[in-house]
């Protein structure tokens, strides 16, 4: 879902970078990996994320929760306010 949102942000002019390049850079810098949870399993838990109407944000947070509250790299203030863990020392903080 993050890759889809990154592509969308590029399409609407909010990012100049290709999503695959960002993911590759994060893989190299912080060991980012794409998990193997099935999309239907994560999508089912999205209904519990009622703090936003943004389907991307809902899916991203639900996905992190499905991964035992995996660290989440984001500059999005709404996600940061509603994701119930600390972010630690991530490059995007």
Instruction: Give the distance from CA 59 to its chain's centroid.
Output: 8
Residue pair 51/82 in contact (Cβ under 8 Å)? The answer is yes
6-11 — which CB contacts under 8 Å span 24+ positions? 8/56
Kindly state whether residues 18 and 63 are assigned to the same domain. no
> DSSP secondary-structure letter at 89?
S
> DSSP secondary-structure letter at 35?
-
- The alpha helices in the chain, defined as continuous H runs, are 2-11, 19-30, 39-45, 55-66, 77-82
Q: Specify the pLDDT at position 5.
A: 85
Residue pair 71/87 in contact (Cβ under 8 Å)? The answer is yes
Kindly state whether residues 51 and 72 are assigned to the same domain. yes
What is the domain range of residue 55? 35-88
Q: Specify the pLDDT at position 84.
A: 67
Kindly state whether residues 30 and 43 are assigned to the same domain. no
Kindly state whether residues 26 and 39 are assigned to the same domain. no
**pLDDT tens-digit profile, the chain (93 residues):** 778 888 999 999 999 999 999 989 988 998 887 777 888 888 888 888 999 999 888 988 888 888 777 777 788 888 888 886 654 444 343
Q: Specify the pLDDT at position 40.
A: 86
Q: Specify the pLDDT at position 26.
A: 87
């Amino acid at each position: 879902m993050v890759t889809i949102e990154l592509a969308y942000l590029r399409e609407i002019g909010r990012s100049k970078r290709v999503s695959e390049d960002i993911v590759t850079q994060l893989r190299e810098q912080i060991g980012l990996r794409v998990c193997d949870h099935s999309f239907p399993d994560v999508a089912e838990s999205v209904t519990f994320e009622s703090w936003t109407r943004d389907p991307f944000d809902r899916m991203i947070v639900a996905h992190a929760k499905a991964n035992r509250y995996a660290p989440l790299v984001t500059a999005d203030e709404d996600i940061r306010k509603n994701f119930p863990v600390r972010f630690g020392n991530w490059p995007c903080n």
